[in-house]
Amino acid sequence: MLEDHRQNHIPFGLDPDDGSLVDVENVPRGAKCGCVCPSCKTPLIARQGKEKEWHFAHASRRNYERTKNECRYSFFVSIRLMARQIIGDEITMRLPEYRGTVAHQSDRLGYPLSASFLITEAKEIVISNVAVEARFEGIPVDIAGQVNGFRFVVYFTHPGRNIPPELDAINDSRCGIIAVALDDLDKTMFRGERDQRRSYRSILREFLINDLESKQWIYHPRYRRCHQQALQELEAKAESIVDKHATQGHRPRASLAAPSPGHDVDAYAYPRKASGKRVLFECMMCKSQWQGVEPSGSACPQCQTHLFRTCVKVLGDDTAE
């Protein structure tokens, strides 16, 4: 919930004559603005002082007390409605990188492997043929349009308005869905250092186009294909590790099971060289090579773990006989 002194600070008011949202900087001062609250339809006044940031407020404290439960999120309701209006028929948006994670438990290897995989890099898209306050697969959404022939959905979230679980369950190979969190805009729009020459509308438009941290991928049409490919690669990597152990004469595969609590993982899964031997190690995950001393050895400088190291060559005796 917003801080008390911001609860009834509204950047955009509703013009009851034509149903459009207007910026507080584009209306007459006070009650002459002729606007109402987008949430509860209570009359608004435009506060345009010299010190505090300009904003709409409910016309009287009595009216606000009567409607405050309905208007708890009126700030965000006004932003959400104005965002729809700004987008219009088409908008350009920068979208963040999207990564997933895949895990594989191999009985032969004895311990799980996991990896992240790239679904899409950060990019700029153009959403066209936009419909506002639309329905997508029967679910009410803020924006529904098209990107390169694919259906594309934008859903705005804020306190009191979360992502519908039905959107998380969508499984359409020809659609993309993002959520845009409006949560921090009360701090961005109502900050003391705001440039008075910039309207709230222009600040919101820039936010919608360029802000990456507020955007979250809900679904991408390439997700299933990328997930399946990453899983296959991880399964192949697990088999490769087991086979490499076998060809180098390590313990039989059946004994590569994860150690019980209290056992030294490295001693259990990887046989030691003779005490005090300086050897050349190689990481079976990233193929990095480095020198170390057995039996203590060392971790891979790239992966920061000793679990996937193997001895490539004995370089010499590092201790006195």
The pLDDT tens digits for 60-72 are 655 555 554 456 6
Domain assignment present for residue 240? The answer is: no
Burial label, 213 (beta-carbon count in 10 A; 0-12, 13-18, 19+): exposed
Same domain, 265 and 313: yes
Domain assignment present for residue 49? The answer is: yes
Q: Taking 90 as the threshold, does the pLDDT of residue 215 lie above it?
A: yes
Same domain, 133 and 208: yes
Domain assignment present for residue 228? The answer is: no
3-state secondary structure of 285: coil
Same domain, 65 and 129: no
294 or 315, higher pLDDT? 315
Contact assessment for residue 227 and residue 102, using Cβ atoms and an 8 Å cutoff: yes
Per cent of the chain over pLDDT 90 is: 27
C-alpha–C-alpha distance, residues 78 and 117, integer Å:
38
Same domain, 204 and 92: yes
Q: Which of 48, 72, 96 corresponds to the end of one domain?
A: 72
CA angle 238/243/249 to nearest 5° reads: 135
Q: pLDDT digit string (tens) for 173-201? A: 789 999 999 988 877 766 644 555 678 88
Domain assignment present for residue 188? The answer is: yes
Q: Taking 80 as the threshold, does the pLDDT of residue 295 lie above it?
A: no
Same domain, 117 and 217: yes
Contact assessment for residue 108 and residue 242, using Cβ atoms and an 8 Å cutoff: yes
Domain assignment present for residue 245? The answer is: no
Q: Which of 173, 199, 223 corresponds to the end of one domain?
A: 223
pLDDT of residue 304: 61
pLDDT of residue 307: 57
Picking from 153, 91, 150, the residue whose alpha carbon sits closest to that of residue 124 is 91
Q: Taking 90 as the threshold, does the pLDDT of residue 117 lie above it?
A: yes
Same domain, 95 and 196: yes
pLDDT of residue 305: 63
pLDDT of residue 52: 76
Same domain, 68 and 37: yes
Contact assessment for residue 210 and residue 94, using Cβ atoms and an 8 Å cutoff: yes
Domain assignment present for residue 235? The answer is: no
222: alpha, beta or left? (left if phi > 0; alpha if psi -120 to 50): alpha
Q: Which domain holds residue 48?
A: 4-72
C-alpha–C-alpha distance, residues 205 and 198, integer Å:
11
User: Which tokens is 154 given?
Assistant: 């934008």
pLDDT of residue 54: 85
211 or 171, higher pLDDT? 211
Torsion of CA 182, 184, 187, 189, to 10 degrees: -30
Domain assignment present for residue 300? The answer is: yes
User: Which tokens is 253 given?
Assistant: 């595969």
Q: pLDDT digit string (tens) for 230-283? A: 999 988 888 888 887 777 655 534 434 444 443 333 333 333 333 467 778 777
User: Which tokens is 62 given?
Assistant: 């009595």
Residues 6+ away with beta carbon under 8 Å from 112? 103, 104, 105, 106
Domain count, the chain: 3
**Cα Rg of the chain, angstroms:** 29
pLDDT of residue 263: 37
Same domain, 100 and 214: yes
Q: pLDDT digit string (tens) for 49-58? A: 777 778 888 8
- What average pLDDT does the chain have? 78
Same domain, 213 and 269: no
Same domain, 16 and 129: no
pLDDT of residue 111: 78
Picking from 129, 124, 126, the residue whose alpha carbon sits closest to that of residue 89 is 129
pLDDT of residue 275: 45
Q: Taking 50 as the threshold, does the pLDDT of residue 2 lie above it?
A: no
Same domain, 96 and 173: yes
Domain assignment present for residue 231? The answer is: no
Same domain, 12 and 47: yes
Burial label, 58 (beta-carbon count in 10 A; 0-12, 13-18, 19+): buried
